[in-house]
Amino acid sequence: MDITIRLPQTKSEWEDYYDLRYRILRKPLGQPRGSEKDDGDETGIHFALYHEGELRAIARLDELDLNLCQVRYVAVENKQQGKGYGKVIMYAVEQEAEQIGYDKIILHARENALNFYLRLEYVNLGESYLLFDQIQHYKMEKEL
């Protein structure tokens, strides 16, 4: 399998990155274009998974403090879900977090993604917030 995980490099790759984030995480909730971006995009570490040159999955890692980081905006292309891309990109994010020196990683998972993160050994700490008054999220953590 020809899989590469890296930062988007060209204007077109960045457009594809944010388009995937929008189409998977915001458009189904009736949110406008632009809602897929936030101030953390300037400081976060971005991950884009390419398979045979095609963008398949994305994620972002944010520092919360010297020992704690958060994964945000994990998304896999609709027709590519269930093929292992989510697991591969999450392992890459976790490896990067360990290399940086974080002790713990947290995330806020949508209800439909809980089992995915539980299989990756994240612990469910309970309900965290309701996104756009529609999607319940759960705080999860993993010791690194």
Percent of the chain with pLDDT over 90: 86
Torsion angle (degrees, nearest 10) of CA 37, 38, 42, 46:
-50
Q: How far is CA 129 from CA 54, 95, 116, 134, 139, in A?
A: 33, 27, 19, 10, 9
Q: Would you call 102 exposed, middle or buried from its count of C-beta atoms within 10 A (0-12, 13-18, 19+)?
A: buried
Q: Is the dihedral of CA 82, 46, 26, 120 positive or negative?
A: positive
Beta bridge pairs of residue 142: 105
Q: How confident is the model at residue 1 (pLDDT cuts 50, 70, 90)?
A: low
Kind plus residue range of the DSSP H or E element containing 89: helix 85-100
pLDDT of 133 reads 75
CATH topology classification for 3-143: Aminopeptidase (3.40.630)
Q: Tell me the three state secondary structure of residue 97.
A: helix
Judged against a pLDDT cut of 80, whether residue 129 lies above it is answered with: no
Give me the residue spans of the domains in the chain: 3-143
- Tell me the C-alpha distance between 128 and 136, whole Å: 8
| DSSP letter (8 states) at residue 11 | H
Judged against a pLDDT cut of 70, whether residue 135 lies above it is answered with: yes
pLDDT of 134 reads 78
Average pLDDT over residues 110-130: 92
Q: Is the dihedral of CA 134, 79, 112, 13 positive or negative?
A: negative
pLDDT of 40 reads 96
pLDDT of 2 reads 87
Beta bridge pairs of residue 70: 62, 106
Q: What does pLDDT average to over the chain?
A: 94
By the 8 A CB rule, do 108 and 128 touch? Answer: yes
Interval 31-78: pLDDT, tens: 999 999 999 999 999 999 999 999 999 999 999 999 999 999 999 999
Interval 86-104: pLDDT, tens: 999 999 999 999 999 999 9
